[in-house]
Structure 1
Amino acid sequence: MFIETETTPNPSTLKFLPGEQVMAAGTREFTSPEEAEASPLAQALFDLGDVTGVFYGREFVSVTIAPGAQWSDVKPQVLSLLLDHFVSQAPLFVGGSAGGIAVPPADEDFGDDPADADVVEQIKDLIETRVRPAVANDGGDIIYRGFREGIVYLQMQGACSGCPSSTATLKNGIESLLKHYVPEVNEVRAA
Structure 2
Amino acid sequence: MFIRTEDTPNPNSLKFLPDQPVLGPGELGMDFPTPGAAKISPLAAALFDVDGVVSVYLGADFVTVSKDQTVDWEPLKPALLGTIADFLAAGIPVVDQRASTAAEGVTSVEDYKGEDREVVEQIIELLDTRVRPAVAQDGGDIIFHRFEPGDGIVFLTMQGACAGCPSSTMTLKSGIENLLKHYVPEVQSVEAVA
State the secondary structure of the residue aligned to 1:37: helix
- Corresponding residue for 1:125? 125
How does 1:98-109 map onto structure 2 within 5 Å?
A: 101=101, 104-106=103-105
The amino acid of 2:46's aligned partner reads A
TM-score by length of 1: 0.90
Structure 1 position 36, deviation (Å): 1.6
CA distance in 2: counterparts of 1:40 and 1:145, whole angstroms: 26
CA distance in 1: counterparts of 2:70 and 2:106, whole angstroms: 29
Query: RMSD of aligned C-alpha atoms?
Result: 2.0
CA distance in 2: counterparts of 1:185 and 1:107, whole angstroms: 18
Any conservation in 1 of the 2:2–2:18 contact (CA below 8 Å)? yes
CA distance in 2: counterparts of 1:55 and 1:116, whole angstroms: 31
- Corresponding residue for 1:167? 169
The amino acid of 2:34's aligned partner reads S
Structure 1 position 99, deviation (Å): 6.1
Any conservation in 1 of the 2:106–2:145 contact (CA below 8 Å)? no
Please list the CA deviations of residues 138-178 of structure 1 after superposition, one character each: whole Å capped at 9, or x if unmatched: 11110001111211111111111111000000011101111
Identity of aligned residues (%): 50
- Corresponding residue for 1:85? 87
CA distance in 2: counterparts of 1:60 and 1:162, whole angstroms: 19
CA distance in 2: counterparts of 1:174 and 1:99, whole angstroms: 31
- Corresponding residue for 1:37? 39
TM-score by length of 2: 0.89
- Corresponding residue for 1:5? 5
CA distance in 1: counterparts of 2:161 and 2:61, whole angstroms: 14
Please list the CA deviations of residues 88-118 of structure 1 after superposition, one character each: whole Å capped at 9, or x if unmatched: 2222134xx28694x522289xxx6534111
Is residue 2:180 matched to residue 1:181? no
How does 1:136-155 map onto structure 2 within 5 Å?
A: 136-148=136-148, 149-155=151-157
Any conservation in 1 of the 2:30–2:58 contact (CA below 8 Å)? yes
User: Which residue, out of 53, 69, 72, partners 1:70?
Assistant: 72
Any conservation in 2 of the 1:135–1:142 contact (CA below 8 Å)? yes
Structure 1 100/77 Cα, relative in aligned 2: closer, same or farther at 3 Å? farther
- Stretch of structure 1 that moved more, 16-25 or 35-44: 35-44
The amino acid of 2:3's aligned partner reads I
State the secondary structure of the residue aligned to 2:141: strand
Unaligned runs of 5+ in 2: none
State the secondary structure of the residue aligned to 1:146: strand
Q: Report how many residues are paired.
A: 186
The amino acid of 2:141's aligned partner reads D
Please list the CA deviations of residues 118-155 of structure 1 after superposition, one character each: whole Å capped at 9, or x if unmatched: 11111111001111111111111100011112111111
